[in-house]
Structures are given as C-alpha cells and as structure tokens.
Amino acid sequence: MALRVASRKTLAHARLGLGFLQSRSLQTLTLPDISYDYGALEPAISGEIMQLHHQKHHQTYVTNDNKALEQLQDAITKGDAPSVAKLQSALKFNGGGHINHSIFWKNLTPVSHGGGEPPHGSLGWAIDANFGSMEALIKKMNAEGAALQGSGWVWLGLDKEFKRLVIETTPNQDPLVTKGASLLPLLGIDVWEHAYYLQYKNVKPDYLNNIWKVVNWKYASELYEKECPTERD
C-alpha cells in the first residue's frame, strides 16, 4: 500500500514537473540584518522610515512568502496543480519584495562610511561610457523613478550577457530578473510611497535627489568588478 501511495505521489509530481522538490525540506526565509543603525542615513532618510521599512514592510514580505512557500509545498505534495498556479502571484510579490529589499539595504550606507561617494575604477568608467557622466545617470534614473506610475523600483543593472549597464524600472515588487535573465541588479531604488512618504510627503523628486547622498557605490562596484574584472597587465 505504501508503495502504491508513493507511486501516486510521484506521478502527481511528475505531472507538475516538480518532482525534484519531493524529498526536499522547506527552508524558511528570515529578515536580514542591516549593517548600520536605522538613524545612520539621516538626514537623507529618517530613522523612523528605516525602522518601519525594515521591521514592518520587509518583515511582512518575508512572513507572507514563507506562508506561500509552505502552501506551495503542500500543493505539490498533493499534486494540486490549480493551487500551485494560484500561488504564483503571491510568490512573485512577496518573494520579489524580500529579494529587492535585501539588495536595497546593501545599496545604502551612511555618509561616514562612504555613502554617496562616486564609484572609482571600472564601474565609474562604465557609467561615463554608457550614460556620459554620473550626473547624467542620476538624472535619468530620477526621471524614470519619478515617472513610474503606482509603486515599483528603478534599477541600475548590468546585462551580464552583453557586459553593458542598463536602467530599468519594475512595477510592484517585481525583481530585475523579470526584465531579463541576464540582468544583475547593481543598485535598486525603492519608489514605493512607504520608502519616503513619512519624510518627503508627496514630493517624490526630493526623495530621489537626496537618496544619492547615501548610495553605497562600493557595493555596486564590487558586484560589477566580479562580472567585468579589470584586465591587468
């Protein structure tokens, strides 16, 4: 009997194309720590915003993604294809929220730790080559962020296939990879109202102008250098 049950399960998994998950235990997501104090980005971003953003908003994406992952595992175990399909939007939204915010905290750093210091070396040269100058890049990202309707993100990404920098926007919590499998996020700016409204009210352009004062270009440069190592003699 046990064999028959196992065999039915295997067939169900095979039908869903998810057999590889059958014997894996579910690994839950956790809220990552931020490497600086909530108030350390002031005056560019208030400590109150940072605390709520991290402890409430990001935590909610983590909690809801864990719930959806648990439901997914249950649906897969039962071979319940409609439930698997139904869970996709919750997984994209909450999983994307977790992915994007985990990058966002690393994209920022206090001024005392180099926040806002423009990138030196190969990323700095690539920005000049692709966009003309750092000022031109900031202007373009701010314009795209300001023009984004509803909630979403504006990204500086690296197209790993063509080794070139790109500016993209994504709606809601869609991660950059939804715009192309070869896109690596170097810098993501959260343009949801929860990222600025308590401090900047409805003046999104002021938030976008000020966030550059605490951008961690060192982190973006390390990612870039890893994919596009500087050739040395």
Please identify, using beta-carbon distances, which residue of 187 and 195 lies nearer to Fe ion: 195
Backbone phi, psi, residue 225, to 5°: -60, -35
The whole-angstrom separation of Cα 40 and Cα 47 is 7
Q: How far is the CB of 145 from Fe ion (least distance, A)?
A: 13
Please identify, using beta-carbon distances, which residue of 96 and 110 lies nearer to Fe ion: 96
Q: Determine which residue in the list 65, 168, 174, 190 makes contact with Fe ion, applying CB under 5 A.
A: 190
Name the segment binding Fe ion (CB under 5 A); options: 83-91, 148-156, 186-194, 200-208.
Answer: 186-194
Both tokens of 35, joined, read: 């490497």
Q: Confirm whether residue 101 is marked as ligand binding.
A: yes
Both tokens of 158, joined, read: 């690296």
The whole-angstrom separation of Cα 53 and Cα 61 is 11
Q: How far is the CB of 20 from Fe ion (least distance, A)?
A: 32
Q: Confirm whether residue 120 is marked as ligand binding.
A: no
Q: Confirm whether residue 58 is marked as ligand binding.
A: no
Pairing of strands 164-171, 183-190: unpaired
Please identify, using beta-carbon distances, which residue of 38 and 192 lies nearer to Fe ion: 192
Q: How far is the CB of 58 from Fe ion (least distance, A)?
A: 7
Please identify, using beta-carbon distances, which residue of 100 and 109 lies nearer to Fe ion: 100
Radius of gyration of the chain, Cα coordinates, nearest whole angstrom: 21
Give me the DSSP letters along 132-170: SSHHHHHHHHHHHHHH--SSEEEEEEEETTTTEEEEEEE
CB-based contacts of 206, cutoff 8 Å, min separation 6:
200
Q: How far is the CB of 151 from Fe ion (least distance, A)?
A: 8
Residues that bind Fe ion (CB under 5 A): 190, 192, 195
Annotated binding-site residue numbers for Mn(2+): 53, 101, 190, 194
